[in-house]
Every structure is written in C-alpha cells, then in structure tokens.
Chains A and B, each alone.
Chain A
Amino acid sequence: MDVFLQTLVAGILKGGLYSLIGIGMSLIMGVMGIINLAHGQLMMVAMYITFALHHFLGIDPYISLFIAMPALFLLGALIQKYTLNPLLEVESILPENQVLMTVGIGMVLTEIARFIFSSDYKSVKTSYSNATFFIGEISFSIALVIAFFIAVGFTLLMFWFLLKTDIGRSIRATAQDKDAALLMGVNSKRITTITFGLGSALVAAAGTLLIPIYYLFPDIGGPFTRKAFVITILGGLGSTVGAIFGGVTLGLAESFGATYIGMAYDDMIGLIIFILVLLFLPGGFKRLTKV
C-alpha cells in the first residue's frame, strides 16, 4: 500500500510540473497552429538564468521566478515578432516554415548556452532541495510540493486570464477562428506575439521550479520539448484544462509504469499513451470537456 501511495504522490507532484510545461506549448499551438519545437530549449534558457542568478548573486530560485519569467516573456515575444511573424508573409513550398524555424531557434539557444556555460552539469543547491516531510510512511519532497502548488497557482491564473481579460478573450478568439477574430478587429500579430511570450514565461516558471530538484546542461531542452508535445496532444490543442489533465496523466503514467512495469520503459509508456490517444481520442481530453 505504501508503495502504491508513494507512487501516486510522486506521479501527481511531477504531473503538476508537467502541466505547467504543457500549458505554454498548448497555448502557442492553439493560437498559431504550430508546434513550438524550441519549447524545452526556452525552459533551458530560463533554468540558466535562474542558475546564474543563484550562482553569482545568491538569489533564491523562487525569487528568480520574477526575473526569469519576464525575461522569457520578452525573449519569446521577440522570437515571435522578428523570426516567426515575418515567415507568415513569405510564400514557400513548405507551409511548416515556422516549425522549422523553431527547431533552428532551439539549436541556436542550445549552442549559445554551451558557449557561455560549457557542457558542464550545473545545479542549484538550496536548503530545501533535499528537504522532505513524511505523512505516515509517505515522503513528500518540499521543493516538489512547493513547485506543485505554484504550478497549480499559475495554471489557475492563466485560466482566469484567458476567460476574463480582454487580451485573454482575444487569444481565445484567435485560437478559435483567426479570420473571424481579424474581422472583429483583433490585432492577430500582436496577439501571437503576446501568446508566444506567455507560453515562454510559463515554461520559464516550470524550469525555475524544476531546477532545485533537478540539474542543468545545454542539451536538456530536447527531452522536455518531447514531453510538452505529448502533454499537448494528450490534452488537446490549445486547451488549458486539457494540458493540466495531460500533464498529470503523463506524470502518473510514468510513475506507475516505473513502479509496476519497469523504469526502463519510462519514455515508452508516455509515448504509447500518446499513440493510443491519437488513435482513439483524436483531439485529446479537450473533447471530453467543453472548455
């Protein structure tokens, strides 16, 4: 029973972080209809910012949230404005120009990180990195619990933002029907820029929350881009609620898979679910809700 509960706890806590990673990609995918394959790399940049702030100035990762997130918002917005938006106007054989561009951006970010910080593994050690508390026999990592609640907080905030604010409504309108939104006077270029910024800021939050319990090197982005992609497909494109479900599902699947099937199949389990969802529930969990 303890084994089961511990696995459940581990899965849900990890799932919270995964959701936060997934939401950003889901937003971008919903609004612009492209997969941002530099998503994990943007997270890597945020992690390096957090690392540098901690290493050189001794700033706690949780405070770095307020620096890393705006920084990544800016970076994301700039990427959208100056590298992705111009591509919309160019006629080309491949309609997926923007996706290819994100792959390139991801590579450039990785190599810049390698150039500045070298390939060394870095980590941020804080007093709470290894701290735990126990409920019965079940251990809770304090850093992960905090990360989970902050992730939930951001998700709720995002939800409120999309439903209640003007920009949020414009984002949803653009996601639902770009042409109609344009006709209604929504500045779609501005909206895509803001969306990309927001998506980057959210994944920055995930990176900053992850770093006290994980580690960092320039090539860390790839696996997380893949995870975000799986989560987005699981949840349904462009759906915030879907991304939460997708994240937690992936977290749980990985944990239970690790305990009851074998940790060696970690990635495989996630991808099998991915395929099953594509086959039997195209459109993801979004189909089951209405949001």
Chain B
Amino acid sequence: MQKYFRKLFVPAVAFTMAGLLFSCGKKADEGNKIKVGIVLPLTGKLAKFGEIEKKSFLMAVDEINAAGGVKGKKIDLIIEDTTGKPDVGRSAIEKLITQDKVVIVGGGYSSSVTWATIAVAQKQRVPFLVNTGSADKITEQGWEYIFRLNPPVSEYPSALASFLKTVAKDVKRVAILHENSLFGQSGSKKFEKQCKKLGLNVILKEGYESGAVDFKPLLVKVKSKNPDMIYMISYVMDASLLMRQSKELNLNPKLFVGGAAGFTLPEFQKNAGDATEYVFSATLWTPSVPYAGAKEYYDKFMKKYNSPTEYHGAEAYAAMYVIADALKRAKALTPKDVRDSLAATNLKTVFGPVKFISYGKKTQQNKLPTFLVQWQKGKLETVWPKEVSTKPYQYPTPSWNKRK
C-alpha cells in the first residue's frame, strides 16, 4: 500500500507544483490583456456562419494586436460556442461574464440566441455589441447595455421598397415565405406592414420549418395564387432548395426576392446553380459597397483562409474594430466605462459608418442603408440604388421555360 502511495505521491506533488507555477505565469500575463468575450454558433446547423464570423473576428484582432493593441495591452478574444441554441447561449455568456470577467461581449448570431443572451448582459451590466442577430425587438427594450451594429431585419428591404416604387410599379400581388424562427417571423411581419404602406396586396404569407426536404407543397400553393412577387426570408440551404424547386414547378412571378440572409451567399449559387439567375436580394453588404476597406477586407480574407467571405464576416470584422475603438476611448477598462465610450462611437468601418442612435422604438441602434443585388450569369451584382450599381437590373424575370 505504502509503495503505491509513494508512487502516486511524487508525481502528484510534481503536478501540483507545475500547475501552481503555470497558473502564476498566466496571471502575470493577464495584466497585459483585455478580455473580450464573443458568443457564436461554432457547432450545429448554423456553424458555417459562426465559422466565418470567428475567422473575421480573429483576423481583425490579429491586425489590432499587431498594431500595438489597445492602451499598450493586447486584446484577448474568448470565443464561446452557443451551438445555435438559446439555452446554451445563455450559459455561454454567463460563463464569459462571471468566470472570465470580460469587459465587453460581441458576436450574437441568430435572433433567437441573441435574444436570450442580451438579457444576461443587461442584467449583469456588461455591454454587448450585437453584430448579426436582427430581430427588431433586440434594440427595442431600451436596455442601455445592448448595442447593435447591423440594421434590424425590418430595414433589410428598404432598398427594395424604392425599387418597387420606381421600377417594378406593376407588382401588385405579393407572396411572403419565411423560415419559422424569430428571424423569419419578425422579418415577414414587418415586410407585410411595409407592403401595405406601398399599396401592395399580400395574398399569402406562410412559414416553414428550416431544413425541410421538399418545399413543393408550399410552392404549389403559391403557384395557384399566381403572385407578381415572391419574397422569401430564408437561411441559405432552404433558399437554394426553394429556388431549385420553383424551377421544377415552373413557378413564374415577375420578381423573386430574397430578404438578405441566405440569398446572397456563395453557397446559394453553388447549390442552386442556374436556378439563382435573376433572383434579387436585399443585402447589407457586398464587397462592392462604397465603404473604404470593404474590398480590401474581402481580398485579405480570401488570401488568408482561401474561401470567400460575405456580410456576416464583414459584420464581425467591423464589430471587432468598433470594440477596439471603444476600449481605446474608455476612461477605465470597466464594463461601465466601456459602455459609455461605446455609446459615443463614431467610426468608419468596412460595414459602413457606425454610430449608435435612437429612432422610433429603437435605442443604441446603428442605421445603415441597404442594397439590392441580383444574380446575373452566376455573379452577384449590385443593381440598386443606381448610384452604386455594378450592372443594370434585369426586370421582369423571364419565365423558366423561356430561358435558354
């Protein structure tokens, strides 16, 4: 027995000593770091976009740290996985705030998860800069610790509204299809209201469960109502199935419009192929937007990771710079002071100018214009507003069997 004890005792002591030494070393190092927490879905259905955002965050933080960091300290990103589920997201942000003691939290992909996490941040009084979750109510609570970089989902189609007013005047009957989570529900409700304002007749509004194999029953129903425009709020793979199956059913409205999200991503074109042709989409960002650094960001990302990036990445990249800027201007590195300096942000980023203002019911919301893009010959071209367009728009959409 004693022999065993000694055998175990020596390594155990050695281990503990090493552990102590190691933790001391870590502590000394920590004084030189500013901890910033990020919550993103890194596994699960939304992992792909979490991945793009993570890469963009890391790229931005590397650049910032290489340039000397903030106040002589390096920024230490602690990225937690939400798995795309609200309950996991909650515990992730609680861990960041109570254990890691971060001074600010960023990220927040998908509205449902973001909605669950911001409540924690507000309660613990740690600022949270949301950069993707886009349900309107996120910034409609009057919570002073919650900021949002990206426009809310209801504003995604503002460029579309002006397009409908000036070009597609003969569109009268609208069908709205949306994925059935907070993001799609919130977006479709606001769009329905907007349609009423524009004098359009919403003849059908239907939700669907994301990840469905077969959209034909839904699309047949749409076809039987014969709409002029089909507006879809979908994540990317639902988006490509919707278009592929519209083609299969020979469904021919004058306009196919995607409400951002899935319809602008490279995967959409890769998976749906020529079924994407002539499809319009509202978007927040493309590499061709008129903001300094946008194209450079795209090229840098491409070079570093050898895969294309899209608006989620741009949001994350811009958010990191906004966070760094707020930390730089903060009087002290406490959540309260960082919150105050974040509120006074006035920064030009690759995602557009950032300034947190209050309007309507919203507070601390950044206001940005949106764009209308269209797939032409397998490329995503910016077509509206005209001032920033890369190609003229193609309207109306030719019917499937008249295409070559």
Residues of A within 8 A of B (CB): 2-3, 6-7, 10-11, 14, 114, 118-121, 123, 125, 129-130, 132, 134, 139, 141, 210, 213-215, 217-219, 223, 254-256, 258-259, 262-267
Closest A-B pairs by Cβ, 10 of them: A264-B207, A119-B47, A263-B208, A258-B217, A259-B217, A264-B180, A266-B209, A123-B271, A10-B216, A6-B220
Neighbour of B213 across the interface among A7, A210, A218, A256, CB < 8 A: A210
Neighbour of B241 across the interface among A132, A215, A259, CB < 8 A: A215
Q: Kindly report which residue of chain A lies nearest to residue B238, judged by CB atoms.
A: A215
Pair A120/B237 contact, Cβ less than 8 Å: no
Distance (whole angstroms) from the CB of B202 to the closest CB of chain A: 16
Q: Chain B residues near A259 (CB, 8 Å)?
A: 217-218, 220-221
Pair B273/A125 contact, Cβ less than 8 Å: yes
Q: Chain A residues near B32 (CB, 8 Å)?
A: none
Contact A263 to B215, CB < 8 A, known contacts A3-B220, A6-B220, A130-B244: yes
Q: Most chain-A CB neighbours within 10 Å: which of B43, B270, B271, B275? A: B271
Dominant secondary structure at the B interface: helix
Pair A120/B211 contact, Cβ less than 8 Å: no
Q: In the complex the two chains form, what is the Cα distance from A7 to B241 in whole Å? A: 17
Q: Chain B residues near A214 (CB, 8 Å)?
A: 213, 241
Pair A121/B236 contact, Cβ less than 8 Å: yes
Distance (whole angstroms) from the CB of B109 to the closest CB of chain A: 13
Q: In the complex the two chains form, what is the Cα distance from A85 to B18 in whole Å? A: 42
Contacting residues of chain B (34-66) with chain A, CB-CB under 8 angstroms: 43-45, 47-48, 50-51
Q: Does B247 contact A (CB under 8 A)?
A: yes
Pair B43/A255 contact, Cβ less than 8 Å: no
Tally chain B residues at the interface, Cβ within 8 Å. Answer: 38
Q: In the complex the two chains form, what is the Cα distance from A11 to B220 in whole Å? A: 13
Contact A3 to B221, CB < 8 A, known contacts A14-B213, A121-B236, A263-B207: yes
Dominant secondary structure at the A interface: helix
Q: In the complex the two chains form, what is the Cα distance from A53 to B195 in whole Å? A: 47
Q: In the complex the two chains form, what is the Cα distance from A7 to B221 in whole Å? A: 9
Enumerate 15 A-B pairs (CB-CB under 8 Å) in ascending A order. Answer: A2-B220, A10-B220, A114-B47, A119-B43, A119-B47, A125-B273, A130-B248, A219-B44, A255-B217, A256-B217, A258-B208, A258-B214, A259-B217, A262-B206, A267-B209
Pair B248/A223 contact, Cβ less than 8 Å: no
Contact bitstring B243-276, A, C-beta under 8 A = 1, else 0:
0110111100000000000000001001101010
Contact A217 to B217, CB < 8 A, known contacts A130-B247, A132-B248: no
Q: Does B224 contact A (CB under 8 A)?
A: yes
Pair A215/B224 contact, Cβ less than 8 Å: no
Q: Most chain-A CB neighbours within 10 Å: which of B44, B206, B209, B275? A: B209
Q: Most chain-B CB neighbours within 10 Å: which of A11, A134, A214, A264? A: A264
Distance (whole angstroms) from the CB of B59 to the closest CB of chain A: 17
Contact A264 to B209, CB < 8 A, known contacts A114-B47, A139-B249: yes
Q: Does B28 contact A (CB under 8 A)?
A: no
Contact A121 to B267, CB < 8 A, known contacts A259-B220, A264-B207, A264-B209: yes
Q: Chain B residues near A266 (CB, 8 Å)?
A: 208-209, 212
Q: Does B240 contact A (CB under 8 A)?
A: yes
Q: Chain B residues near A139 (CB, 8 Å)?
A: 216, 248-250
Besides the known contacts A7-B217, A214-B241, 7 further A-B residue pairs in the complex with CB atoms under 8 A apart: A121-B48, A123-B240, A130-B273, A215-B240, A215-B241, A255-B217, A263-B208
